Structure 1
């Protein structure tokens, strides 16, 4: 099961849990209400035949998928890419990741602009909404293999903060103000 918690202001090591002491953990419902982040638990052994992933893809209109592996062995310019992933940014489309193996952290901003760290492990599927400021890093294992999903052709263009004038950001803030009840 995914874990999400508020982070300290101390940046520390980006690849460690780095949470308040004591940590303030969030339920999936709280996480959704204050960020719009959605979570699904899938079975990595049966996802290709059990219909659960197919149902999600159909309901959300995902028509393109690929796989990516982040590790020192598989990712060219590994250290530079990790720095790039960890820069606070947003996208004009949802960011969808289904973790096939390994683990890492997505950090997202809440309503009060505080960081929430979301640990993802094998079997977790996370949907980061369009327009939310976020970042990604690996944990100390330095490895994750994930499926990525897109509506239509893949668009993976990060817009570093500040990007508050972008339409996707304005739409996200409206949904956030309504606690994502209207979506």
Structure 2
């Protein structure tokens, strides 16, 4: 996974938008973001012992696999990409293990509110804490296949950033957990 500050230059969200300023792992840790690189077994057997170990450690009981492509989503493709790219938070951790393809998760740094871009490829596993503002997009390859892990039943209700989400109890707890007031 390559991590850097987003350049904030307008244009296609699927471009690198690399400011040239890398982000140190300590910064990711300070905002609660965790990541690992776990090579995807070839051939893919469906067995992922290292991912299973992370899942057990974090209390994940369920999982599924999602593939995002223009062909797979058809006419919904552009609308889905746009909705994924809206700044939002979840009331659960968001964990993704990239099986194929690539894409970007952008996360908000606290307290600066700068965007940090996480460029993910096959084998990258990313955990975003509940309450962190983030967004997702594919890159120019327009394809990603990812395993999603869940603590309980899958629920991914996005709460778009607003005054209401700023006061959401999960957001407030998140800010307390990273010692930002």
Matches within 5 A, 1:152-163: 152-162=152-162, 163=165
Per the alignment, residue 172 of structure 2 pairs with 170
Deviating above 6 A after TM superposition, structure 1's stretches of 4 or more consecutive aligned residues are none
**TM-aligned CA deviation for residue 49 of structure 1:** 4.3
Matches within 5 A, 1:60-139: 60-76=58-74, 77-111=76-110, 112-139=112-139
Q: Gaps (5+ residues) in structure 1?
A: 179-183
| Equivalent-residue separation in structure 2 for 1:11 and 1:172 (angstroms) | 29
Alpha carbons of structure 1 residues 131 and 50: separation in structure 2 relative to 1, 3 Å: closer
| Equivalent-residue separation in structure 1 for 2:154 and 2:47 (angstroms) | 24
Alpha carbons of structure 1 residues 80 and 175: separation in structure 2 relative to 1, 3 Å: same
Contact 1:98 1:147 in 2 (8 A): yes
Contact 1:41 1:125 in 2 (8 A): yes
| Equivalent-residue separation in structure 1 for 2:83 and 2:39 (angstroms) | 30
Alpha carbons of structure 1 residues 11 and 177: separation in structure 2 relative to 1, 3 Å: farther
**TM-aligned CA deviation for residue 68 of structure 1:** 0.2
| Equivalent-residue separation in structure 1 for 2:47 and 2:62 (angstroms) | 18
Q: Deviations over 1:133-181 (max 9, x none)?
A: 0000000000000000000101100000011111110011011227xxx
TM-score, scaled to structure 2: 0.91
**TM-aligned CA deviation for residue 130 of structure 1:** 0.4
Q: Which moved more, 1:113-122 or 1:40-49?
A: 40-49
Alpha carbons of structure 1 residues 42 and 166: separation in structure 2 relative to 1, 3 Å: same
| Equivalent-residue separation in structure 1 for 2:170 and 2:93 (angstroms) | 10
TM-score, scaled to structure 1: 0.90
Per the alignment, residue 27 of structure 2 pairs with 30
Equivalenced residue count is 174
